[in-house]
């Protein structure tokens, strides 16, 4: 045997030994029980995991929304609320314009949306796995969510079929629906459906509504910068919507333009030459009313007139923008002049004698708090409730000229006192009312019977339950400002019942009237107070303004009828005044019901009333 053959034989033997050694070691490893258990457990775990994932996907698919719903109209009815002089106060519901075709979408808008929202839109099948990995990486680097992985198809599935909840089930359903949409529709159809339905701020749905309401033009005529602006709004429409979000939205539009350059859709020179858009003056479809307490109230009352609203509505009301502006100015000026704490809230209602609301403030600022204190807040009225005590007395044998003793009153262990902590002795009812004597009000209430006082309040319009307690006469049962103003409007209306008549008529999108306030019904309703009683209570209200607790509300050249109210520990301060055919009610207090610093109905509320009347 040659040397070469011997060498080759030795190499072969070593290789066999080596292979034998590898197999031997693997065999020994496999014979290890712990290793075998690990491998078997891992395989079993993968099978179980795959099974559970499959079950979960099936579970998500069971109640998957029907794709045929794509053709259904799920928009909320568009409701317009107008002032008495036809100005639009507010829009509610969804505002849609034309349903565009792919050919009507400008290339700049398509490119802006794709560059920002989904660059691989025409390449993926509904789910962009590369996009998900890229977004996860960038979010990890940034330490927060800076990029999303959802495709336009997934976003379409979400806005049409799914809720906004953040759950694994919804994300799985979103992916399943996206795959289904991609199978049924072309890319162009999906993009058109998305841009026709996407929310773009201030109740605008679809790019055509945004183009018309922000720039006053058709979508086809959008400029490069305007297209970038609308595409930029897709990320956070409520934040970027003009006029409040215009500045941040323009900065966002610059980023969209940069994205378009990076994607190769436009050149850097085109980006630099793009003209900054101008917003139209009526770009805000929310209407002319800034503090929308009144329109919110009208919307809440609408179901009483038209249940199950399923059509667009145009509502005409008694509201006056001029009176509203004067009321807002009066409140702001008085608060600033008196250096009132920002914690203190104010609610006010101006109503005509027929029950039509002319102006309303449910708080100092609608932007900071949408809670309508004029309608929803139930507070102790204090002495302003004495109106019902004296009306009950006038209907049961007393008169404005009757005399009564102002003296210490004790009912059980309760000994109420006057605000001044003094007693005036023998006084007439008109003076007792003017000076708002607590002891006299309690004696009258106990004399005629609390049940009659409660009946009087309910007859005039108080809807809340009143407690039959000795303290009833001092206004310890909580009521709303709206109810109180409506009751005082009965006095302005010469004793005729007053109901809410703020909605004059309602028409649908076809201009057909579907509701009209019936004159001869609410306007000329039943008499609840006799003329003699109305005349005497007016004298008392006038006396309160001339020389009593309401004297700060006196306005030269105007006959003012009014009454103050202050609850225990200065927690609530009220004034309601009547001038001609208008009733203005004002409440001041803290939302947490804590005491104010010596604020009474005769100070801040009366001062607001006087400031408002100066503007007439």
pLDDT grade for 145, boundaries at 50, 70 and 90: very low
More confident residue, 128 or 14: 128
Is the pTM of the predicted complex or chain greater than 0.75? no
So what's the pLDDT on residue 176?
78
Inform me whether the pLDDT recorded for 236 exceeds 50. yes
pLDDT grade for 239, boundaries at 50, 70 and 90: confident
383 annotated active-site: yes
User: Which of 101-110, 129-138, 285-294, 499-508 has the lowest average pLDDT?
Assistant: 129-138
Give the active site residue among 383, 477, 501, 544: 383
User: What residues does 577 pair with on adjacent strands?
Assistant: 562, 584
Mean pLDDT, residues 360-379: 93
pLDDT tens sequence across 43-99: 777 777 676 666 655 655 565 666 665 555 555 688 899 999 999 998 887 666 778
pLDDT grade for 35, boundaries at 50, 70 and 90: low
Mean pLDDT, residues 137-142: 59
So what's the pLDDT on residue 565?
97
582: Cβ–Cβ under 8 A, 6 or more apart, which residues? 350, 351, 352, 353, 358, 492
Which of 583, 522, 507, 515 is CA-nearest to residue 81?
507
What are phi and psi for residue 137, nearest 5 degrees?
Answer: -65, -50
CA 191, distance to chain mean position in Å, is 31
Inform me whether the pLDDT recorded for 368 exceeds 80. yes
Inform me whether the pLDDT recorded for 21 exceeds 60. no
What are phi and psi for residue 316, nearest 5 degrees?
Answer: -105, 130
d(CA 92, CA 309): 12
So what's the pLDDT on residue 135?
57
d(CA 528, CA 460): 7
Inform me whether the pLDDT recorded for 253 exceeds 70. yes
Report which secondary-structure segment, H or E, holds 364. Answer: none
User: What residues does 314 pair with on adjacent strands?
Assistant: 80, 507
Inform me whether the pLDDT recorded for 281 exceeds 50. no
So what's the pLDDT on residue 11?
45
182 annotated active-site: no
pLDDT grade for 307, boundaries at 50, 70 and 90: confident
Look up residue 142 and give its two tokens.
């940034």
More confident residue, 441 or 63: 441
493: Cβ–Cβ under 8 A, 6 or more apart, which residues? 353, 354
CB 575 within 8 A of CB 564: yes
The DSSP secondary-structure symbol of 447 reads H
The percent of residues above 70 in pLDDT, for the chain, comes to: 81
Axis crossing angle, helix 481-492 with helix 450-460, rounded to the nearest 10? 80
- What is the 3-state secondary structure of 455-522? HHHHHHCCCCCCCCCHHHHHCCCCECHHHHHHHHHHHHCCCECCCCCCEEEEEECCCCEEEECCCCCC
So what's the pLDDT on residue 522?
45
Domain range annotation of the chain = 12-62, 90-273, 329-614
So what's the pLDDT on residue 283?
42
d(CA 119, CA 263): 8
Provide the 3-class DSSP secondary structure of residue 88. Answer: strand
So what's the pLDDT on residue 167?
64
309: Cβ–Cβ under 8 A, 6 or more apart, which residues? 77, 79, 302, 303
pLDDT tens sequence across 493-531: 999 999 888 999 999 988 899 999 886 444 455 899 999
Q: 95-96 and 357-361: which strand pairing?
A: unpaired
So what's the pLDDT on residue 503?
95
- Compute CA distances 291 → 106, 245, 383, 499, 593, whole Å: 37, 18, 29, 24, 23
CATH number given to 90-273: 1.10.3810.10
So what's the pLDDT on residue 169?
63
CA 253, distance to chain mean position in Å, is 28
DSSP 166-214: --HHHHHHHHHHHHHHHHHS-HHHHHHHHHHH-B-STTEESHHHHIIII
pLDDT grade for 244, boundaries at 50, 70 and 90: low
pLDDT tens sequence across 576-592: 999 999 999 999 999 99
CATH superfamily of 329-614: DD-peptidase/beta-lactamase superfamily (3.40.710.10)
> In b/e form, how buried is each residue of 472-486, taking b as 16+ CB within 10 angstroms?
bbbbbbbbbbbbbbb
Look up residue 450 and give its two tokens.
């609390």
183: Cβ–Cβ under 8 A, 6 or more apart, which residues? none
- As a whole number, the mean pLDDT across the chain is 85
d(CA 534, CA 458): 17
Mean pLDDT, residues 209-233: 91
- Compute CA distances 468 → 281, 404, 411, 444, whole Å: 55, 23, 14, 14
């Amino acid at each position: 045997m040659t040397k070469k053959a011997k060498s080759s034989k030795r190499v072969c033997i070593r290789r066999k030994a080596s292979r034998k050694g590898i197999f031997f070691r693997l065999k020994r490893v496999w014979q290890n029980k712990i290793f075998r258990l690990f491998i078997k457990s891992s395989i079993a775990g993968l099978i179980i995991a795959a099974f559970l994932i499959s079950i979960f996907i099936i579970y998500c698919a069971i109640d998957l929304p029907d794709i045929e719903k794509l053709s259904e109209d799920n928009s909320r009815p568009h409701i317009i609320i107008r002032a008495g002089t036809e100005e639009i106060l507010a829009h509610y519901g969804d505002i849609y314009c034309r349903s565009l075709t792919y050919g009507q979408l400008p290339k700049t808008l398509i490119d802006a949306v794709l560059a920002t929202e989904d660059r691989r839109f025409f390449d993926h099948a509904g789910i962009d796995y590369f996009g998900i990995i890229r977004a996860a990486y960038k979010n990890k680097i940034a330490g927060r969510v800076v990029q999303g992985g959802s495709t336009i198809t997934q976003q379409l599935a979400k806005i049409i079929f799914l809720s906004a909840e953040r759950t694994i089930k919804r994300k799985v359903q979103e992916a399943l629906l996206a795959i289904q949409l991609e199978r049924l529709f072309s890319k162009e159809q999906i993009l058109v459906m998305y841009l026709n339905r996407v929310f773009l701020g201030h109740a605008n749905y679809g790019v055509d509504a945004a183009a018309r309401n922000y720039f006053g033009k058709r979508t086809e005529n959008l400029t490069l910068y305007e297209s970038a602006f609308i595409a930029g709004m897709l990320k956070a429409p409520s934040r970027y919507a003009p006029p409040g979000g215009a500045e941040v939205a323009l900065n966002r539009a610059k980023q969209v333009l940069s994205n378009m350059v990076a994607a190769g859709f436009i050149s850097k020179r085109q980006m630099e030459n793009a003209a900054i858009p101008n917003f139209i003056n009526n770009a805000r479809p929310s209407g002319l009313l800034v503090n929308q307490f009144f329109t919110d109230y009208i919307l809440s009352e609408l179901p009483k007139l038209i249940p199950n609203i399923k059509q667009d509505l145009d509502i005409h009301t008694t509201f006056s923008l001029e009176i509203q502006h004067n009321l807002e100015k009066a409140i702001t000026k008085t608060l600033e002049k008196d250096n009132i704490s920002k914690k203190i809230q104010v609610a006010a209602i101006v109503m005509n004698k027929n029950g039509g609301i002319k102006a309303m403030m449910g708080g100092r600022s609608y932007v900071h708090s949408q809670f309508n204190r004029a309608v929803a807040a139930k507070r102790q009225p204090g002495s302003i409730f004495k109106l019902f005590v004296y009306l009950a007395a006038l209907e049961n044998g007393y008169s404005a000229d009757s005399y009564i003793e102002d003296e210490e009153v004790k009912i059980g262990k309760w000994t109420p006192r006057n605000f001044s902590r003094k007693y005036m002795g023998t006084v007439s009812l008109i003076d007792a009312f003017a000076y708002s004597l607590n002891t006299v009000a309690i004696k009258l209430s106990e004399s005629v019977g609390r049940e009659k006082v409660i009946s009087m309040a309910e007859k005039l319009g108080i809807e809340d339950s009143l407690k039959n307690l000795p303290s009833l006469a001092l206004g310890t049962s909580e009521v709303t400002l709206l109810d109180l103003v409506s009751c005082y409007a009965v006095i302005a209306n010469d004793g005729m019942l007053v109901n809410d008549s703020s909605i004059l008529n309602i028409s649908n999108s076809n201009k057909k009237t579907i509701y009209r306030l019936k004159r001869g019904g609410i306007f000329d309703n039943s008499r609840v107070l006799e003329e003699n009683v109305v005349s005497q209570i007016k004298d008392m209200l006038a006396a309160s303004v001339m020389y009593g607790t309401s004297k700060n509300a006196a306005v030269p050249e105007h006959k003012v009828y009014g009454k103050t109210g202050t609850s225990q520990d200065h927690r609530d301060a009220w004034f309601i005044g009547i001038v001609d055919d208008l009733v203005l009610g004002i409440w001041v207090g803290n939302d947490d019901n804590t005491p104010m610093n010596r604020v009474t109905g005769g100070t801040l509320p009366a001062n607001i009333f006087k400031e408002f009347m100066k503007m007439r």
